[in-house]
Amino acid sequence: MAHLVAGAATDVGLVRSANQDSYLVCERAALYAVADGMGGHAAGEVASATAVAALEDTYLADASATPQALARAAEAANRAVFERARTDPAMHGMGTTLVAVALTSGQGGPTLAVANVGDSRCYRLRDGELEQLTVDHSLVGELVAQGRLAADEAEFHPQRNVLTRAVGVDADVPVDLFEVDAFTGDRLLLCSDGLIRELSDRAVASILRRRPDPDEAARELVGEARLSGGSDNITVIVVDVIGDDDRAAVASQALAAPGAADAAAMPDRADEPADDPAAERTGTVPVVADEATSVVPVITSTPRLAPPPAVPPRPPRQRLVTVRVVAFAVVLLAVLAAAALGVALYARGTYFVGVGAGGQVTIFKGRPGGLLWFQPTVAQRTGVPLSSVVPADQAALRAGMLESSLADARAYVQRVQVPPIPTTTVPAPATTPATTVAPPASATTTVAPTSPATPPPSAPAGTP
Ligand code: MG
């Protein structure tokens, strides 16, 4: 079951003496709204509070809970403010913006309905990307929507504060109404212009991504707007979608379908200078004495209950993040594997001659002492005791003498051994008494043929 959780915060700011913003968080009806009032004295506060109260009363009284019910509630809010201004001279000419979101029963199931009049805004954060869903009903906002003014030019346009539509100024007002699919994890942001005049969209998105709790996110947004100047009242509602009734697949198709774009592309103002704090908003109400106000005819009349002014449909979102993550993981694994292979070759690709078990000269494979998890192993036991090594080489051998191959290691072992002492025996006459006492004839006898009777080879038998 689709479910919404919201957090809200509001602040008067650092310049204004009163907070003319009002907001509504109605959990039981999943109805949320922000209104930014305009008018002298207390009129602005009355306008925004009146609009929000009428919106809630009307919507709750309508059991259908449909997107159309939200539009009717916004129209009722307009009538309530207009009537109050008409009957109370002190409130004459007051007006307010109104942006509202409700979880409604659309034709295809639960859907988020967004109603908007004025230049308070509704954004959606999805997959970490912030997108402005509403179109500002201001002079520059209309021009931007028509493609006649660049978004970055609008930020500094001298008439950017002039509204073309507001609640309560006329007996009737066109209400922008559209529906957006609700995905689990989607986050909606409703805000008055006091937020967006102080913080770039990138800064807003960063806070929304960093703060999972909607209440904390709302408070931090308002706090940061104050720190950035607080030139206007600041009001924020953060609405999280918890559960989407498995409608993600349907919504994905809707996103990909031509004409499904329900959002205007959002300019990236991260690198732009902050707004001029002295630039204050002007209203649509000509009778307010303490503000430079103006009334501008509505440039484009949007039919009631129609989608917002057409903007070029956005192409289906590419899941680049997933591709990038996979590519990064593959590259990282390849680098790690190459590094491990290099270490292994370095650690195991050599030999050294050292002292092994029993004090024998031994040829090892690896590096003396090992490297990381690669320990040396015995390649060959030479059977040569260390004592047989030239003393001058024994110290180096104990430390481990590196050789590039097994053959070199064997050759080294051959070189460092103490040369063997010659074992040639020298005859010692004194030790052979028989020799000294034997008569010469006897000696002759010992070297003569052992058998004198044997005929000499030169006299073979049978010779005449
Ligand atoms: Mg404002």
Ligand 1 centre from 356 Cα, in Å? 85
C-alpha 409/C-alpha 9 separation (Å) is: 78
373 Cα: distance to centroid of ligand 1 (angstroms): 65
In angstroms, what is the span from residue 295 Cα to ligand 1's centroid? 17
Distance CA 87, CA 215 (A): 38
Dihedral in degrees, nearest 10, Cα atoms 364, 366, 367, 370: -110
217 CA distance to ligand 1 middle (Å): 20
Question: What distance in angstroms lies between residue 233's CA and the mean position of ligand 1's atoms?
Answer: 6
Beta-strand relationship, 95-96 and 176-180: unpaired
- 194 C-alpha to ligand 1 centroid (Å): 5
What is the rounded distance in angstroms from the CA atom of residue 36 to the CA atom of residue 193? 8
Pairing of strands 351-355, 98-106: unpaired
Q: How far is the CA of 241 from the centre of ligand 1 (A)?
A: 27
Q: What is the SS3 assignment for 435? A: helix
The two tokens of residue 316 are 């289906």
User: Which residue type is seen at 319?
Assistant: R
Positions of the chain with pLDDT under 50:
251, 255, 258-320, 431-464
End-to-end, the C-alpha distance of the chain in Å comes to 138
Using DSSP's 3-state secondary structure scheme, residue 326 falls into helix
Question: How many whole angstroms from 261 Cα to the centroid of ligand 1?
Answer: 27
Residue 263 structure tokens: 């959002």
274 C-alpha vs ligand 1 centroid, how far in Å? 16
Distance, in Å, from the CA atom of 432 to the CA atom of 264, rounded to the nearest integer, reads: 122
pLDDT at residue number 452: 43
The alpha carbon of 192 and the centre of ligand 1 are apart by a number of angstroms equal to: 6
At 130 the pLDDT is: 97
CA of 28 to the centre of ligand 1 (A): 28
SS3 44: helix
CA distance 182 to 244: 6
Residue pair 260/313 in contact by the 8 Å Cβ criterion = yes
- Ligand 1 centroid to 244 CA: how many Å? 33
Residue 281 Cα, ligand 1 centroid: separation in angstroms?
Answer: 6
How far are the Cα atoms of 377, 395, 431 from residue 367, in angstroms, in the given order? Answer: 9, 17, 56
Nearest to 125 by CA among 70, 182, 177: 182
For 30-97, give the DSSP string.
TEEEEEEEE-TTTHHHHHHHHHHHHHHHHHHH-TT--HHHHHHHHHHHHHHHHHHHHH-GGGTT-EE-
Helix, strand, coil percentages (3-state) for the chain, rounded to 5, are 35, 20, 40
Q: Three-state SS for 173?
A: coil
Residue 144 has a pLDDT of 85
* Cα–Cα distance measured from residue 331 to residue 353, given in angstroms and rounded to the nearest whole number: 39
| Ligand 1 centre distance from Cα of residue 155 (Å) | 15
Between the CA of 12 and the centroid of ligand 1 the distance, in Å, is 10
CA of 197 to the centre of ligand 1 (A): 9
Q: Are 418 and 390 in contact (CB under 8 A)?
A: yes
Closest CA to 414 of 390, 442, 398: 390
* pLDDT at site 286: 28
Q: How far is CA 389 from CA 308, 365, 421, in A?
A: 94, 20, 14
Model pLDDT, residue 284: 30
Q: Catalogue the E-assigned strands of 223-323.
A: 234-242
Q: For residue 98, what is the enclosing H or E element? A: strand 98-106
